[in-house]
Amino acid sequence: MTAPTRRITLKDLARELGVSTATVSNAFNRPDQLSPALRERILGEASRLGYHGPDAKARSLRTGRSRIIAVILAESLTYSLNDAVASEFLSGVAEVLDAQGHTLLLLSSRQTQGQIPGSASMADGFIVYGLMPSPSLLGRLPAQASLVSVDFDIAGRPTVHVDNEAACLAIARHALRTPPRRPAVVNLRLTAEPCNGRITPAHALLGAEQTITRSRLTGFHRALAEHGIDPAGVPMWNIEENTFEVCAPVIETILDRPDDERPDLLLCMSDRIALTAVTLAEQRGLRIPEDLRITGFDGIAEGQYRAPRLTTVRQDSTEKGRTAARIILGLAPAEPSLLPTELVIGANCP
């Protein structure tokens, strides 16, 4: 009770013990630099005095490294944290960081302030997920920090990808083995301008370097062409946000068409879209798969634990996260990484 109203520092501890600050620092950081006996004495005294080890702020300034890795999410944190695919990705990142004594800072490129808070620059590395951030945001990141992009490319930086086109080719080929009369595609963020509804020729579409949806669509179109169906004649809808709330009205538009205009095959860009379609179709008394077949993308748990089980492409989002984290920590080579996908055939599109 020597009234330590002030927080105790390494210097205090050194003075108390009659050793230099270097030795105390070594006791915590480089055990081999001092005798075990002395180290014991220092650590013992430290815990007696309530000193929990070198201050992280000072250490990070001195060493230049914070042991913090930031993930920059394309969507808002609110959306991302509630999206199964993004959550799995994050949990993969967290798993590896955790095992390496690193810590996860969550950022969104849709930050309220319009820009990443300055405190973000504390991070040693950045994992950018889902969408090309604005050039100004990218420019603000510390030049020496490492960077890896996921699901899109940043010139000269390592990337983690899934082969979207091949995966969509495979699932569409499977679906088309039973010839549909009226196939249709439900896209996710394909249009240059926001659009929740039918895509018309007037809509400009994003390029393959801006959205993975484009590659997925290419896969669908290749399969359609193989089966003698002109892709240009296949109607497309678009959805801006991968949530039930945003999907539902668009899906309703599709399902409420007259029987002879309603699609009998819905190629969806995500499981969330597909699940919404299943739910709304069931509510309307449509039989799945007799009246309507539906395919998804992602392989989220919710689609596999319900009846009818979803036909989809499983991508291992967790492994994506692990891979990105390994690259950022230098545990894996800083080169483009392409992860496999798996066709999962469920009861709603056998």
Partner DNA sequence: CTGAAAGCGCTTACAG
Residues that bind its own copies (CB under 8 A): 7, 50, 52-61, 64, 66-68, 77-79, 81-82, 84, 87-88, 90-92, 94-95, 98-99, 101-108, 111-113, 117-122, 139-140, 142-144, 244, 276, 279, 282-283, 301-302, 305-307, 318
Residue 184 token pair:
């249709």
Torsion of CA 137, 141, 145, 147, to 10 degrees: -10
How far apart are the C-alpha atoms of 158 and 41, rounded to whole Å?
Answer: 46
Q: Which residue has the tokens 């510390």?
A: 142
Cis peptide before 308 (omega within 30 of 0): yes
Is the Cβ of residue 32 or residue 193 nearer to DNA in the bound state?
32
**Closer by beta carbon to its own copies, 238 or else 276:** 276
Q: How far is CA 124 from CA 90, 217, 325, 349, in A?
A: 17, 36, 12, 45
Partner whose footprint covers residue 138, from DNA, its own copies, none (CB < 5 to 8 Å by kind): none
102 binds, among its own copies, DNA, none (CB under 5 to 8 A by kind): its own copies
Cβ proximity to its own copies: between 173 and 309 the closer is: 309
Q: CB of residue 96 vs its own copies: minimum separation in angstroms?
A: 10
301's contact among DNA, its own copies, none, with CB below 5 to 8 A by partner kind, is its own copies
User: Backbone dihedral region of 266: left (phi > 0), alpha (psi from -120 to 50 degrees) or beta?
Assistant: beta
Which residue blocks in 154-211 are alpha helix, DSSP H? 164-176
For residue 261, the partner it binds in its own copies, DNA, none, with Cβ less than 5 to 8 A by kind, is none
- Considering the complex, state which of residue 67 and residue 182 has its C-beta at the smaller distance from DNA: 67
Contact partner at residue 32 from DNA, its own copies, none, CB < 5 to 8 Å by partner kind: DNA
Please state, as a whole number, how many other Cβ atoms lie within 10 Å of the Cβ of residue 343.
15
Closest CA to 74 of 108, 111, 104: 108
* 23 vs 111, beta carbon nearer its own copies: 111
Tell me the closest approach of the beta carbon of residue 67 to its own copies, in angstroms. Answer: 4
Q: Which among 262, 196, 209 is positioned nearest to 235, based on CA atoms?
A: 262
**SS3 of 71, please?**
strand
The CB-of-111 to DNA minimum distance in angstroms stands at 20
Find the shortest distance in angstroms from Cβ 116 to DNA. Answer: 16
Indicate the residue among 29 and 78 with the shorter CB distance to DNA. 29
Q: Please give the helix or strand (H or E) that residue 319 lies within, else none.
A: helix 317-328
- Residue closer to its own copies (CB basis): 90 or 269: 90
Pick from DNA, its own copies, none: which does 144 bind, CB < 5 to 8 A by kind? its own copies
Residues that bind DNA (CB under 7 A): 7, 9-11, 18-23, 25-26, 28-30, 32-35, 38, 54-55, 57-59, 61-64
Q: How far apart are the C-alpha atoms of 254 and 277, rounded to whole Å?
A: 9
Burial zone of 8 (CB within 10 Å; 0-12 exposed, 13-18 middle, 19+ buried): middle
* Residue 230 near which of DNA, its own copies, none (CB within 5-8 Å, type-dependent): none
Q: How far is the CB of 235 from its own copies (least distance, A)?
A: 25
